[in-house]
Amino acid sequence: MFELGVVYRNIKRADRKAADALAQYGSATVHEAMGRVGLMKTYMRPIYAGAQVSGTAVTVLLQPGDNWMMHVAAEQIQPGDIVVAACTTDNTDGFFGDLLASSFMARGARGLVIDGGCRDVKTLTEMGFPVWSRAISSKGTVKATLGSVNIPVVCAGMSVQPGDVIVADDDGVVVVPAAMAKKVLDTAQAREANEGEKRAKLASGVLGLDMYSMRDPLAKLGLKYID
């Protein structure tokens, strides 16, 4: 459960190589490699198209309308991290803007995933700092109430432990538990290996029905063709 008013300084980050290598496979392939679990809710959208990153999670638990813990989190960022911010209640306020982004980038963060609002999106786009958020909002926040940093959080419906791997792109945000990072990477690589071949076949007109030998199982389930 959520513990308030604490900052864990020493978190166990996932294997760095795996955390870095997952980005190239993207969220859809990694999600498949996980066994089709780990995806945050689809209301999480990138503030600009085209970013594709992976990194280790520094987690933040925010209070509604209060971004104080984002500053506390900044100090805990190490190069290769992605900040994952949850909130104790649904809230779309603009917890994050260009000043915090300057700070996060200086610390080596690769992006932010926030179950809340984001502002200064034009400047963030120019800076090339990717954010996945539930809303875009000019609304500023106060600094009055304690949350926590680097505790387990639930962000957009998905449980995130500090140090887990985050993979985010235009298709969404996937969470890979730190302990599974290497194995998921292997599976993702294997999946990708024959994707090119499959794509070529399909592009040449071969049907998935034949390529995947689906006709028999479909017939067994009773699919009827009517002329």
Q: How far apart, in whole angstroms, are the C-alpha atoms of residue 104 and residue 77?
A: 7
Three-class SS of residue 50?
A: coil
CB of 89 to its own copies, least distance (A): 6
CB atoms within 10 A of CB 144: 9
* Both structure tokens of 99: 């000043």
User: Is 175 one of the binding residues for its own copies (CB under 8 A)?
Assistant: yes
Q: Give residues 115-154 in contact with its own copies (rule: CB under 8 A).
A: 117, 119-122, 125, 135-140, 142-146, 152, 154
Residue 213 makes contact with its own copies by CB under 8 A: no
SS3 107: helix
Residues 60-89 that bind its own copies (CB under 8 A): 63-66, 68, 71-72, 74-75, 88-89
Q: How many CB atoms lie within 10 A of CB 120?
A: 21
Q: Is 197 in the site for its own copies (CB under 8 A)?
A: no
Rule CB under 8 A: choose which of 60, 180, 185, 188 binds its own copies.
180
Among positions 12-41, residues that touch its own copies (CB under 8 A) are: 26-28, 30-32, 34-39, 41
Distance between CA 13 and CA 179 in Å, rounded? 9
